[in-house]
Every structure is written in structure tokens, then in C-alpha cells.
Amino acid sequence: MSRPASIIGVLGAGTMGAGIAQLACRSGARTLLHDPIPEALHSGAEKLRAGLQREAARGRLSAEEADAAAVRLEAVDSLEAFAPCELIIEAVPERLELKHEIYARLSEIVSEECVLATNTSSLLVTAIAAAASRPERVVGMHFFNPAPLMRLLEVVAGEESSPESLALAHATGEAMGKTVIRASDGPGFLVNRCNRPFGLEALRLAQEQIADIETIDRVCRMQGGFRMGPFELMDLVGVDTGFEISKSFFAQSFGEPRWRPSPITARYVAAGRHGRKTGRGYYTYPPAGEVGAARYRPEDPEPPESDVQRSGEGVIVIAGHGTLAAELREAAGGVGYEIRSPNDPTGGILPALIIDCDRDPPGGQRGSASGERRPDRRGQGRPAPQGGAYLVLCAAGSLGVLDPEGSGVGFHALAPFADARLVELTRNESSSPLAAARAERFFKALGKHVAWVGDAPGLVLGRIVCQVINESAFALGEGVGEARDIDLGMVLGLSHPHGPFEWADAIGLDHVLAVLEALCDEYREERYRPAPALRRLAAAGRLGRASGAGFFDYET
């Protein structure tokens, strides 16, 4: 096991550079901080010392530890002062020609054993290393902003990065208190790559008017458990910044359809709506410090209250064998509904609602995870909808495909259902008002709000999350990172409620594939093609927690 670097140079004293230098000081390393702009160097050093004092005030460090860390900082006025460093972490603007100039110069100053690390988030480590005399000593150390607070560090291997260089970077990251994950070089590395669909699929949903921006964000927060919806997050990062990253991804991949930038973003950037920093993006923000100004969005509501007995709709039929069907039965039974299967005798009692969680398109058009055609299950072993009170899960297709000219209403939700505070509903011209009203009352009785959205496989959250899982499966299959590193990265680096593979195993890989295959069938776009790694697991019967194995193994 490699030891951490004891002398660390940090090049660039901006927000990221100062934060990384603060971590280096705190880890016990002698830390040299340089910026070619004297004012920036002075400001960065002051920010670093202030950051250490804030950590002490919050109990993360003792006062003595903060003072000792500050003593380890040396603000230096030239690159030549980096000569004794064992590790140099570069945090300069994202311009390849600038980085080439720096790496060529550093190669003349430091020893042959010194590791040069880039904090880049958008450029290839391999491309940066090309200017170094020893590219095998160049690695990526991608810190997340704010560096002193975020728990994650990506250590990225370029094409020439040596095992010894990667081990030193890894050990130094752990000494800084980070959870370190490994990634191979490529657009966005691991975390930012796997998160691409969170924003891009939300933009596609808005473009197709499946839901408006506010509804998409509310669905992601209240049903998915995300701290921020995708449009809130894009405003925080900067709409213009996100657009440049999207163009970079698309260019570096030579036109991967999953990474195509959105025309909506292009229009917003052209209009100067760059997000929070300009006061307008996808939302309008009150001026900083304005007293009494309304927030850019209302607070999410508390769970609704309902009484099943007073509703007079106590008998529910739930058809299906998947995870969601089982969770619905448990939730409905827990609040007093009488749950029946399609084959149970009714005793003359007409069910208030028939919920079909296992519907395939008519005619057996949907393929299974193994590539075989599944038979059409419509109406097999279940009662026909009566009175129009029929609810169908929109996983294996849109409502229009699953119940053509029928009177049913569509819905979608993801496991774990107990965590969701909202369920999505959809309808079309032939949907029964009775079914719509009873569906709303049913989910309200379960303590869930509802959001009416347009028709599509997976509706809003299912479509976004299944695409995130799919992108993660592509990254896994391409060897960009390990499954547990991907899950750790998404949770620690981006505050996702679940890692994509943990979530896929909870949902069921058959459910995820059903949504992706339905999108692929209905849109006829490469954008939605399922990842081979996902197909292979499902074909092997590794469908997630319910089967005892998916992306991970589980005790049964």
C-alpha cells in the first residue's frame, strides 16, 4: 500500500485550488500553494486559513489542529518552488493549451518521481498528460465542489498512468479524509458521465411537453427523493456551463445519441438565462439579500390524509408479480383496503379499482430481457375492467400502447414505494373520469400526492432513473469503473438518494429493461438502447433483490 504524499504542491488558488490546499494542509502534508496572479494567491491563502477556522468552529477540527494545519501552508511565488514536491495538484482553468504549457514547464522542475495530478472535470487526462515528459506520472484527481466538504474523490487513470502514480494519488486522497473511487479516462470520468441523463432526459421530457419544468423537478424530489430537481440543479451549476459540458461530451464521443445537447439549453443560453448567477435560468430568482422575497418555487407539501373506510372503496384488485405490485399490496393492505388477486372470487362485490402492474402491449410485440418474444398477457387470468375503474402500470409501454382505446388511466412509480411522496398519473381522450378520480383517491389514501403528466413509457421519474441506470451500465460494461464505485460516486459526489445499481436491484432489472425497451420501440432511437451489461444480467436471471442477485448478490 502506497503512503500519501508528504509534500504537496497546489497550482491555482481559486475556489477549488484553495479548497484542495486546505485538505492537503489538514492531512499533515507540507503544502505549497501557487497562483501566477499575486492577488489571487493572497486571497486563496486567506480563504484557506478562514476555512480551517470555520472547521474548528464547527467541531470538525480542534483549534490546535487548525492552527497546525495553517502553519503547513506556504504561499510561493514561482513554479520553481515546487521542486521538492512529491505530488502536484493542478486546478487551473479548463483550457488544454494552458495545461499543456504548465505540464511541460513542471516536467523541467520536479523530480522524475513526482506525480502530476489534474483536477479537470471536462478534459481527458490522457490529452493533458501528452505535454508531460513522463506521462505515466500524470493522473486525474477530481475533487467535488466544495472540496473541503464533499466526501468523494475520483482518481482517474489516463492511458499511460502508472500503478504507482495512481496508488500515491489514492493514498493521498484517503489521508485527506476522502472516499476514493477509481475511474478510467473518458468523457466525464465516472460520476459526471453516469449522471448525464438526469439533466438531458429531463430536458427531453420538457421538449416533448410530457410535463413542465416545475412538475419534472417536483416529481424528482417528491417521488425520487432527490434533494433538487434536474432544472434546479442545472440553474445552480450554470445553464451556460452545463451547455458547454454537453457539447464537450457529444464531441468527445463522436456523436453518441445519449449525449446529444438539448435545443432548449441552447435557447436559454442565447437569451442570457444562465441560472442563479444571472437571476434567471429555468427559474427566476429573487435578488440576493432581498428581504421578504418569494422563493423561486413553493415548498413541497406534506403527505395528504385520507380515510379508506369513509371513501367507500375498500376492495382493490392488484394484478402482477413484480416488486412494485408486491409493495402496492402491502401499502394498500396497511391502510385498510381489502386486496384481491384477479382470480379471487368477488362474492358479488365490484372492486373499486383494478390495478394492472404486469401489462404487455397487445399482440405480444414486446421482447423479453432474454430477447425472446413474450406472449400477450392482456386479460389472461384477470377480470376485464368494469366501470372504467382501471389503472395500468406504464412500464412496458405508454398508456396509449398498453390500453389502446380503453378507458383506463396510467400510472408509474419506482421501488421503494414506501419512500415516495408522489405518484405520477396519465390519461388520454378515452380514459374514464371515474378511473381518474378513483386512482387519485387510492394514492391519497396511501399518503401520496399525485401529478398528472403526459403519456410515455416510465412517465417522468421512471424514464429519467432508468436512463441513469442504463448509462451506468454502459460505463460498467466499458470498464470505466466498478459497480460499487459507481454507486458510491453518485451518492457521495452528487447526493443521489440511491446508487443506480442498488436502485436497479430494488426496482427489478426486468422493470428497468421494460421501460428502456418500450422507449426504444416507441421512439425508434438509439438513445434508448439498453446497455449490453444490463441485458446480460437479466438474461441470466439476475433480476435484483427479489431474485437474490442483480448487479450485486443478496442473501436469500
How far does Cα 414 stand from its chain's mean position?
Answer: 15
Q: Looking at the structure, tell me whether residues 157 and 79 fall in a common domain.
A: yes
Q: Looking at the structure, tell me whether residues 41 and 178 fall in a common domain.
A: yes
Which structural domain range is residue 134 located in? 7-185
The Cα–Cα gap between 510 and 497 comes to 21
Number of helices (H), then strands (E), belonging to the chain: the values are 21, 15
Confidence (pLDDT) at 380: 39
Residue 482 annotated among the catalytic residues of the structure? no
pLDDT digit of tens for each residue in the chain (556 aa)?
689 999 999 999 999 999 999 999 999 999 999 999 999 999 999 999 999 999 999 999 999 999 999 999 999 999 999 999 999 999 999 999 999 999 999 999 999 999 999 999 989 999 999 999 999 999 999 999 999 999 999 999 999 999 999 999 999 999 999 999 999 999 999 999 999 999 999 999 999 999 999 999 999 999 999 999 999 999 999 999 999 999 999 999 999 999 999 999 999 999 999 999 999 999 999 887 665 556 889 999 998 886 655 455 788 999 998 899 999 999 999 999 999 988 776 666 788 899 999 888 876 544 444 344 343 444 333 444 444 589 999 999 999 999 998 899 999 999 999 999 999 999 999 999 999 999 999 999 999 999 999 999 999 999 999 999 999 999 999 999 999 999 999 999 999 999 999 999 999 999 999 999 999 999 999 999 999 999 999 999 999 999 999 999 998 6
Of 27, 107, 119, 121, catalytic: 121
Of 27, 86, 90, 142, catalytic: 142
Confidence (pLDDT) at 382: 42
Q: Is residue 66 part of a domain?
A: yes
Q: Looking at the structure, tell me whether residues 112 and 17 fall in a common domain.
A: yes
| Dihedral, CA of residue 472, residue 477, residue 480 and residue 484, to nearest 10 | 60
Domain boundary among 185, 217, 234: 185
Q: Looking at the structure, tell me whether residues 448 and 333 fall in a common domain.
A: yes
Residue 121 annotated among the catalytic residues of the structure? yes
Indicate if the alpha-carbon torsion angle 56, 61, 67, 73 is positive or negative. Answer: negative
Domain boundary among 411, 426, 452: 452
Of 184, 192, 195, 472, catalytic: 192
Backbone angles phi, psi at 396, to 5 degrees: -80, 10
Nearby residues of 15 by Cβ (< 8 Å), 6 or more positions away: 47, 145, 146
Q: Is residue 531 part of a domain?
A: no
Nearby residues of 538 by Cβ (< 8 Å), 6 or more positions away: 369, 370, 509, 510, 513
Pairing of strands 87-90, 7-11: parallel
Q: Looking at the structure, tell me whether residues 254 and 385 fall in a common domain.
A: no
Using CA atoms, how far residue 543 sits from 153, 254, 434, 510, 518, in Å, is 31, 33, 35, 6, 18
Q: Is residue 540 part of a domain?
A: no
Q: Looking at the structure, tell me whether residues 162 and 200 fall in a common domain.
A: no
How far does Cα 519 stand from its chain's mean position?
Answer: 19
Q: Looking at the structure, tell me whether residues 234 and 134 fall in a common domain.
A: no
**Cβ 318 vs Cβ 357: under 8 Å:** yes
Count the domains in the chain.
Answer: 3
Q: Is residue 94 part of a domain?
A: yes
Residue 192 annotated among the catalytic residues of the structure? yes
Q: Is residue 286 part of a domain?
A: yes
Across the strands, what pairs with 449?
A: 422
Q: Looking at the structure, tell me whether residues 101 and 174 fall in a common domain.
A: yes
Q: Looking at the structure, tell me whether residues 317 and 279 fall in a common domain.
A: no
Of 90, 154, 424, 502, catalytic: 154
Pairing of strands 390-393, 353-356: parallel
Kindly state the cell numbers that stand for 19: 479548497
Q: Is residue 511 part of a domain?
A: no
Confidence (pLDDT) at 308: 59
Q: In terms of C-beta density within 10 A (0-12 exposed, 13-18 middle, 19 or more buried), how is residue 307 classed?
A: exposed
CATH number of the domain encompassing residue 257: 1.10.1040.50
CATH number of the domain encompassing residue 364: 3.40.50.720
Q: Looking at the structure, tell me whether residues 398 and 492 fall in a common domain.
A: no
Domain boundary among 185, 200, 215: 185
Residue 154 annotated among the catalytic residues of the structure? yes
The Cα–Cα gap between 138 and 130 comes to 9
Q: Looking at the structure, tell me whether residues 195 and 270 fall in a common domain.
A: yes
Indicate if the alpha-carbon torsion angle 335, 340, 345, 351 is positive or negative. Answer: positive
Q: Looking at the structure, tell me whether residues 23 and 134 fall in a common domain.
A: yes
Grid-cell match 428581504, residue found:
291
Nearby residues of 197 by Cβ (< 8 Å), 6 or more positions away: 258, 464, 467, 468, 470, 471
